[in-house]
Amino acid sequence: MANPIKARFREFEHRMRKKYGRRIGTPAERRQAMLHFHLLDHGFLRTVWWNMEEIAPGIWRSNQPSPRRVAHYAKMGIRTIINLRGEKRHSPYLFEREACDRHGITLLDIELSARKLVSREDLLRLLDLMRRAERPMLMHCKSGSDRAGFAAVLYLAVVEGRPLAEARRHLHWKYLHLSSTDTGILDHVLDVYEADSAATGQTLEDWIATRYDHEALTRSWKRTRK
């Protein structure tokens, strides 16, 4: 009984997400979009809970910022934000883009997923964005738990050259990342890399460029879930 109710609720929520929060051009549209941001995108939870941490000097991770938080980031000296949710025309993105333009922060967009692996090209593009972004820099997803954690691991292990065991601490339950759920597919990627690198000695970046296969990794992840 619970599953059909849950499915209907998700369908209703999906319709509301598509219908509202798509424009902020008029006062009425801005009010609707702000309601969309706080209710359907759960922005009310992020009012005091930022899930924010400096992972390296001048490099931060967090959850989705509000316009007020973008203004705070500007006062902190943040010069670049990497948005891991992609360029989607809904309230979080529209408000963030507007706030970044207002405060002179460069917004770079790339879409990752917490439960589905992206392509090799997307991961290499993310590494390129990390390297060329003006510092100080912040990376965020919606909750700051999974995509932001995975990006933090990649940044520390590849760009900073930190040991992977140290970098992997950013995929942890203290950020609300739970490897026992579907988001554990991100941990699986790193597990497979560690097993491969023990034999090949490849760096993580080289492995991504030559051996990472999101479809094969998804299949192997699903086998572990049976």
Instruction: Show Cβ contacts of residue 122 under 8 Å, excluding neighbours closer than 6 positions.
Output: 110, 111, 112
Supply the DSSP symbol for 168: G
pTM beyond 0.85: yes
pLDDT at 222: 94
Q: Which residue has the higher pLDDT, 5 or 189?
A: 189
Tell me which residue of 96, 89, 174, 176 sits closest to 138, measured CA to CA: 96
Contact (CB, 8 A) for 88 and 187: no
Q: Read off the pLDDT of residues 55-94 as tens digits, 9 standing for 90 and up.
A: 999 999 999 999 999 999 999 999 999 999 999 889 999 9
Structure tokens at 153: 């691991």
Inform me whether the pLDDT recorded for 127 exceeds 60: yes
Bond before 136 cis per omega within 30 degrees: yes
Q: Which domains does the chain have, with CATH numbers?
A: 10-40 (no CATH), 49-224 (3.90.190.10)
The confidence score (pLDDT) of residue 108 equals 98
Query: What is the C-alpha to C-alpha distance for residues 216 and 97, in angstroms, rounded to an integer?
Result: 35
Residues sharing a CB contact under 8 Å with residue 208, sequence separation 6 or more, in sequence order? 120, 123, 124, 127
